[in-house]
Chains A and B, each alone.
Chain A
Amino acid sequence: MGKLEALDICMEYLQARTGNRMLAIDRLNLVIENGSFVSLVGPSGCGKTTFLKIVDGLLAPTGGQLLLDGRSITEPGRERAVVFQDSSLFPWFTVVRNVAYGLECQGVKPADARERVQPFIKMVGLEGFENHYPYELSGGMQQRANLARALAVDPELLLMDEPFASLDAQTRELMQEELLGIWRQSQKTVLFITHAISEAVYLSDRVLVMGPRPGRVIEDLHIDIPRPRPLKVKRTPQFLDYEDRVWSLIEAQVKRDMAGGNGAGGQVLG
């Protein structure tokens, strides 16, 4: 379970300031097989986060259809969960209450919820920190809690929105490796949004490269690096070759943006 199909997804905005219509996503098509790990990479402003929010049901697309295991998606559902960008933990709740939040929303009694999330807290290595508040945790630990919060509702499809973007380089690498371990245990389908090419190649079965706005998939790259993948695969020629291929697709767009070709609003959509 957990096969995602996007058929001709379009997203159009009305810009409040100018009153102009702006196409953020244009006929985006993709299929993510059950149990696979797929990354969506692209320059900032290409609509990747917008697409993720559409998949979660937080935003309604202006066109196209989304199917999860053949059923249409129109609103948030318990078979999908998001690992949000950094600092999305509720600062006023302890780690365990944060992790149990999804269950709380489903009406599970607090005591039961605390018990049920314990395996997930253990899975992400936060035992002993259950009663800490987010501000007492390092950035890496906060994102582990964030991951546990999404896993705790036992979704079929895990949506990850640049979860490691604000971590320092070393922590980030270690978190990537850990994520793969957790993914193997949990057997979820993962859609992972990032702008870090190496991260996408390292984690994924497939890397989907998005073109500049209006966003659409311009390349579907299968990463045939055997698993499990120790961090040192990042230094193999095969890995570097994949990175090069993705980079060459994105490079031209990024250069154009840096030259100032990309107008206002480019960053807003993430």
Chain B
Amino acid sequence: MATPAALSPRGGLPAVRLDHGPVWRLWWQRNERLALGAFGLVLLMAMWELVVRLGLVRALFVSSPSGIVRAFAEALDRGTLWTDISISLAEFALGYVAAAILGIVIGIAAGWYRRLNYIASPWLAAWYATPHIALIPLIILWFGIGLQYKVFYVFLVSFFSVVINALAGVQSAEAKYLEVAKSFRASQATVFRTVVLPGSLPFILTGLRLAAGRAWVGVVVSELVGANQGLGFMINLAGTMLDTGRAMMGIVMLGIFGVALGEVLGRVEKRFDVWRPQRA
């Protein structure tokens, strides 16, 4: 009783140490995952480069890793790459942050006030289910093809994921915890702060992660349709000019930022998740 078995160091499995065997095996045990991941990446890149070099596939259609690197260097030289990246990131940041703030506030309010929920739910459900891309012609009509249009579109595609998850989080407050709070005569404000909010946090974070993915897609979609700057525009332009290397380079950039975004949000989630048993 006094020495609880449940007390393990926070985070991860207990390390299994095998202090014998050759050095390379120890290294492998520790780095297997990373090593195999890197190996797969390098292997595919090499094959890609090879089939293009051997003329099995035309570089015009698929470019090649070296072609992508060349395109990257050229774009850096011309100085347009940073402009395109920063424009895309700005569209993302403005639209997403607005969606996150408004989404959390409205979602929590609609979860907490029953009547507000009744009013808002049909709208939220309908807007969430509607393909937002269909609104692009209208949004361009309202805002033109400048920054405003893209920010608004990014906001639109990401907002509903946040709202709906925040709302579900508040509504999922467990009866047993609400009963404890009631038994101790917690005020409504205290119930909200100590039961509802902490309980809905995992939902809110899930909503934010889903929304981030959708927002990033929204950036590209809106730029493909109408833009004169940004990564999506760059890819579109390169495609029309048969500059496959540049188009691929843009796609790689999008992928890199997408991964980085997921990483950042994953850390935020972990930070708020200290009270839950960590998955290995």
Q: 1/0 contact trace for A123-141 toward B, CB 8 Å?
A: 0010000001111111011
* Interface presence of B187 (CB below 8 A): yes
Q: Which of A91, A93, A137 has the most CB of B within 10 A?
A: A91
* Interface presence of A81 (CB below 8 A): yes
Q: Which residues of A have CB within 8 Å of B181?
A: 105
* Interface presence of A171 (CB below 8 A): yes
Q: 1/0 contact trace for A83-105 toward B, CB 8 Å?
A: 01001101111000000011011
Q: Which residues of A have CB within 8 Å of B179?
A: 58, 84, 88
Q: Does the CB pair B274–A88 fall under 8 Å?
A: no
Roughly how many angstroms separate A138 CA and B194 CA in the complex, as a whole number?
23
Q: Does the CB pair A90–B1 fall under 8 Å?
A: no
Q: Which residues of A have CB within 8 Å of B276?
A: 91, 135
Q: Are A135 and B1 also in contact (CB < 8 A) when A76-B182, A88-B176, A104-B190 are?
A: no
Q: Which residues of B have CB within 8 Å of A125?
A: 2
Roughly how many angstroms separate A88 CA and B175 CA in the complex, as a whole number?
10
* Interface presence of B186 (CB below 8 A): yes
Q: Does the CB pair B6–A138 fall under 8 Å?
A: yes
Roughly how many angstroms separate A77 CA and B184 CA in the complex, as a whole number?
7
Q: Which residues of A have CB within 8 Å of B184?
A: 76, 81, 101-102, 105, 153
- B141-191 interface with A by 8 A CB criterion: 176-177, 179-187, 190
A171 nearest CB neighbor, chain B only: B1
Roughly how many angstroms separate A138 CA and B7 CA in the complex, as a whole number?
8
* Interface presence of A78 (CB below 8 A): yes
Q: 1/0 contact trace for A162-176 toward B, CB 8 Å?
A: 000000000100100
* Interface presence of B119 (CB below 8 A): no
* Interface presence of A209 (CB below 8 A): no
Q: Which residues of A have CB within 8 Å of B275?
A: 91-93, 133-135
- B29-84 interface with A by 8 A CB criterion: none
* Interface presence of A56 (CB below 8 A): yes
Interface of A is mostly: loop
Q: Does the CB pair A137–B1 fall under 8 Å?
A: no
Q: Does the CB pair B4–A76 fall under 8 Å?
A: no
Q: Which residues of A have CB within 8 Å of B226?
A: none
A90 nearest CB neighbor, chain B only: B177
Roughly how many angstroms separate A229 CA and B137 CA in the complex, as a whole number?
81
Q: Are A84 and B194 also in contact (CB < 8 A) when A77-B185, A78-B185, A138-B5 are?
A: no
The A/B interface has a contact count, at CB < 8 Å, of 78
B4, B185, B201: the one contacting A105 at CB < 8 Å is B185
Q: How many residues belonging to B are interface residues under a CB distance threshold of 8 Å?
A: 29
Roughly how many angstroms separate A125 CA and B1 CA in the complex, as a whole number?
10
Q: Are A105 and B6 also in contact (CB < 8 A) when A84-B176, A90-B198, A91-B275 are?
A: no
- A160-215 interface with B by 8 A CB criterion: 171, 174
Interface of B is mostly: loop
Roughly how many angstroms separate A171 CA and B3 CA in the complex, as a whole number?
12
Q: Does the CB pair A58–B182 fall under 8 Å?
A: yes
A178 nearest CB neighbor, chain B only: B1
Roughly how many angstroms separate A92 CA and B185 CA in the complex, as a whole number?
19
Q: Which residues of A have CB within 8 Å of B239?
A: none
B4, B176, B186: the one contacting A137 at CB < 8 Å is B4
Roughly how many angstroms separate A88 CA and B195 CA in the complex, as a whole number?
12
Q: Does the CB pair A141–B183 fall under 8 Å?
A: no
B182, B183, B274: the one contacting A81 at CB < 8 Å is B183
Q: Does the CB pair A56–B183 fall under 8 Å?
A: yes
B22 CB to nearest A CB, Å: 38
* Interface presence of A82 (CB below 8 A): yes
Roughly how many angstroms separate A134 CA and B194 CA in the complex, as a whole number?
15
* Interface presence of B199 (CB below 8 A): yes
Q: Which residues of A have CB within 8 Å of B2?
A: 125
A174 nearest CB neighbor, chain B only: B1
Roughly how many angstroms separate A85 CA and B270 CA in the complex, as a whole number?
29
Q: Which residues of A have CB within 8 Å of B176?
A: 84, 87-88
Q: Which residues of B have CB within 8 Å of A141?
A: 1, 4
- 9 closest residue pairs by CB, A with B: A92-B198, A138-B4, A105-B184, A105-B186, A92-B275, A102-B184, A133-B275, A135-B277, A138-B6
Query: Can you name 16 A-B residue pairings with CB atoms under 8 Å?
Result: A56-B183, A58-B183, A76-B183, A84-B176, A84-B180, A90-B177, A90-B180, A90-B198, A92-B201, A92-B275, A101-B184, A104-B190, A133-B275, A136-B4, A136-B7, A141-B1
